[in-house]
Structure formats: C-alpha cells, structure tokens
Amino acid sequence: MKINLSYGKFIKIEDYASDSIIEVPDNCTVRDLLVFLKLPAYVQKAVIVHVNEEPVWNATVLKDNDTVKLYRMVSGG
C-alpha cells in the first residue's frame, strides 16, 4: 500500500524525504507508521498526525493513497 508522506521541519526521518510516496504494510495504523518510520519514542509522543487534512488517532488504519502529514509539537514563548 502506498501513502503520500510529508512532515514538518522539526521532524527528521532518515529514510524518507518529505513530500514522497512510500510503501507501507497493509492495514498499517498511524502508530504502526510512526514505528515503521523509526521515530524515537520521545518524538512519537510529540507528533500530531493528519490524514487527508483531518487529525487522527494512533489507531486509525491508513488506506491506499492517503496523504499523511506529521507535525511535531514545539513549545516556547
């Protein structure tokens, strides 16, 4: 199954460039995707995921050709 993956500048993913089409396992959940992308646990806890422009939960199952955007929460003042 293929998805369109993009992510913000506060997330570093070694194996995939932002705005790329990647192959993921069938029945992949958002949580599975974060593990698949090898994001460290502390980053996984600080990521907001949108699928097709809608915020989703970790248990959301991805579908072929979904557009997935990852944003990292940052704080400051």
Tell me the fold of 2-72. Ubiquitin-like (UB roll) (3.10.20)
At residue 75, the pLDDT reads 76
Q: Where are the domains of the chain?
A: 2-72
Full pLDDT tens readout for the chain, 77 residues: 999 999 998 899 999 999 999 999 999 999 999 999 999 999 999 999 999 999 999 999 999 999 999 999 887 76
Q: What is the pTM of this model?
A: 0.91
Q: How many helices (H) does the chain have, and how many strands (E)?
A: 2, 5
Instruction: Tell me the C-alpha distance between 48 and 57, whole Å.
Output: 9
Q: Which segments within the chain are labelled E, that is strand?
A: 2-7, 20-23, 47-51, 54-55, 67-72
Instruction: Tell me the C-alpha distance between 63 and 14, whole Å.
Output: 23
